[in-house]
A and B are shown apart, each in its own frame.
Chain A
Amino acid sequence: MEPTQSDVTRLLGLLSQGDPDALDRLMPLVYDELHRLAASYLRRERSDHTLGATALVHEAFLRLVDQRQVDWEGRSHFFGIAAQAMRRVLVDHARRRSAAKRSRNMQVTLDTGADVATDGGADEVLAVDEALERLAHLDPRQARLVELRYFAGFSIAEAAEALGISPATAKRDWALARAWLHRELGPG
């Protein structure tokens, strides 16, 4: 059943009041909506267009949240959850794609003896996802910042607002996180 605006809006209200179950109930609703939107983008826009994660997250916000009934805190919560959900959508896609590529590669190698270039896009997303698990142990907020920037395409200013930190702090945290990712993943 499709979630209604009032479900998500009400759950965001409960989350702001500190209800621990609200997050667990929100996540699947937001995930499903983003997944659905991503699939319909793919059908409409075909293969010659880069999908904008930011656009999807904002569209999900407009569809799922009654703007008259959420404050800045509810917005922040929503975008944090949406970035996490977007990460899952993308990682799930990348896993499937990477698996498909592996089986195609194997076929081509058998047929021609040539190797096919690996799929940098899917591989990078999976590697960033794994590295972020480690970063979350060192600094959970910094990991969420990367989630917002990389997986949801938020600007420094938007990510800072969603995390309730100053843009200067977000900028510093992002610079270090990016350097750390670059070192963890090796040359791209």
Chain B
Amino acid sequence: MTSDSERWRTIKAIFGEVAALPSAERPARLAALTMGDPALHAEVAALLAADGAVGRRFEQLPPGLLANLPRPTTRGSDSSTD
């Protein structure tokens, strides 16, 4: 296991713990879990922010990626389903 993947495991554990908290409690918990490692704090904080911003992106393939191929000028219908 590389040091990168070890660090990723740490990030994963902290992200999971902090993301499960109500948002008001997150900053203090994140600070406590990353004390003495500002880079780790910044990394997890950025991922938590991305988690809040990602919306439904990546939940499905871009609509019409394959379906549009034969007729590139029309858009595929966005029939999003869960």
Q: Which residues of A contact B (CB under 8 A)?
A: 38, 41-42, 45-51, 53, 90, 93-94, 97, 100-101, 104, 120-122, 124-125, 128, 137-139, 146, 149-151, 153, 172-173, 175-176, 178-183, 188
Contacts and interface: CB of A to CB of B under 8 A. Distances in A.
A139 B12 contact: yes
Interface string B37-52: 0000000001110110
5 contacts: A122-B65, A128-B58, A139-B8, A172-B16, A183-B50
A179 B54 contact: yes
B19 A175 contact: yes
Interface in B61-80: 61-72, 74, 76-79
B69 A93 contact: yes
Contacts, number: 120
A7 B61 CA distance: 30
Which of A50, A137, A173: most chain B CB closer than 10 A?
A: A50
A15 to B, nearest CB: 25
Contact of B54 (A48, A100, A173, A178): A178
Contact of A150 (B46, B61, B68, B77): B61
Contacts of A138: 4-5, 8
B53 interface: yes
A151 B61 CA distance: 7
Given A48-B76, A137-B5, 4 more contacts: A93-B69, A124-B62, A137-B2, A180-B47
